[in-house]
Chain A
Amino acid sequence: MKQKFHKFFWAWEYEKEIQWINDMAAKGFGLCHVGLCTYWFEDCEPGEYIYGLELAEHSPSSLAGREYLDFLSECGTEYVSSWLRWIYLRRKTADGPFNLHNDLDSRLSHLKRVFLLLLPVILINALVAVYNITLGLCMHLPNNIVISSLNVIIAVQGTAALIRLARMIYGLKKERQLHE
């Protein structure tokens, strides 16, 4: 039986999101479809699947995206659902740990994809926030300041996420000088 859950994660909280999905799988709820802030689960054996989430290079609806998903499927990783370029995948827990990228270069390239996805969104929100607050203060429009609070939240939290990602990228690049 399918069950629907509503839950919200910021785009930069993808590790937290997949942790929640895996916690659900451990309880016997296997993710089967994803929509905007909505997750559908179906019954599975508790711990039967381990889930992974990746920002794909190509949209799953494109030819290159479908080829990638077909390849993953051949290798035992099942495509579950997608939201924009985020793809939700799973494999049987019995087949070993979920690990799509185990070399530094492909881990780096995934982190860079996430960074480049977030950067324009956060910049736009920061600019809108500064513009609205300045306008609100100069023109005595308190509503502008209230409305821009969401932009401020996104800009502040997103910047913290970008700094974290940049640190991870820097750390991997340092490690890359010593190892693959």
Chain B
Amino acid sequence: MNIGNNALTEAVYYILLSLLEPRHGYGIMQFAEQLSGGRVRLAAGTLYGAINTMLEKGWIEACGIEPNSRKKEYVITQTGTAVLLGEIARLEELAANGRVLLNNVMNG
């Protein structure tokens, strides 16, 4: 998983978005799938590795146990929110550059 100053992986991006409110692992999987219209299906092993790496980085934190299921819940931190905002700006730049150049080419 590429967690540095560069592009986030799609899994990390969707996990951070999911954790804008507290969720447990399975909740993250469901939310990411729902948000992406069924396209992004996070595999459990991939998700586990990503959660642990993001915990180490301080991008997310454990915030308790869901009362009914006893599942551990996580939430995004301020650092994680800053990373997310940086990624959104990067994605907007990518999309804007792509659109401008393609429009130039297509419109002669």
Q: Give the interface centre of B1, B11, B29, B43 by most chain A CB atoms within 10 Å.
A: B43
Known: A102-B42, A106-B1. A75 touches B47 (CB 8 A): yes
In angstroms, Cα B27 to Cα A144, docked, is 60
Checking A74, A100, A102, A105 against B26 with a beta-carbon cut-off of 8 angstroms, the contacting residue is A74
Q: Is A85 an interface residue (CB 8 A)?
A: no
Known: A103-B9, A105-B1. A74 touches B25 (CB 8 A): yes
Contacts of B29 in A (CB 8 A): 75
Question: Between A and B, how many residue pairs show CB distances below 8 Å?
Answer: 55
Q: Is A14 an interface residue (CB 8 A)?
A: no
- Name the residue on A nearest B47 (C-beta): A75
Digit string of B5-43 for contact with A (CB within 8 Å is 1, else 0)?
Answer: 000011100000000000011100100000000000111
- Name the residue on A nearest B53 (C-beta): A105
Q: Is B90 an interface residue (CB 8 A)?
A: no
Tally of A interface residues using CB under 8 Å: 19
In angstroms, Cα B49 to Cα A77, docked, is 16
Q: Is A72 an interface residue (CB 8 A)?
A: yes
Q: Is A86 an interface residue (CB 8 A)?
A: no
Q: Is A140 an interface residue (CB 8 A)?
A: no
Q: Give the interface centre of A96, A99, A110 by most chain B CB atoms within 10 Å.
A: A99
In angstroms, Cα B25 to Cα A102, docked, is 16
Q: Give the interface centre of A54, A72, A109, A180 by most chain B CB atoms within 10 Å.
A: A180
Contacts of B49 in A (CB 8 A): 105-106, 109
Q: Is A170 an interface residue (CB 8 A)?
A: no
A residues apposed to B, CB below 8 Å: 54, 68, 71-72, 74-77, 96, 99-103, 105-106, 109-110, 180
User: With contacts A71-B48, A103-B46, A105-B2 known, what are 6 further pairs, Cβ within 8 A?
Assistant: A54-B45, A100-B45, A102-B43, A103-B1, A103-B43, A106-B49
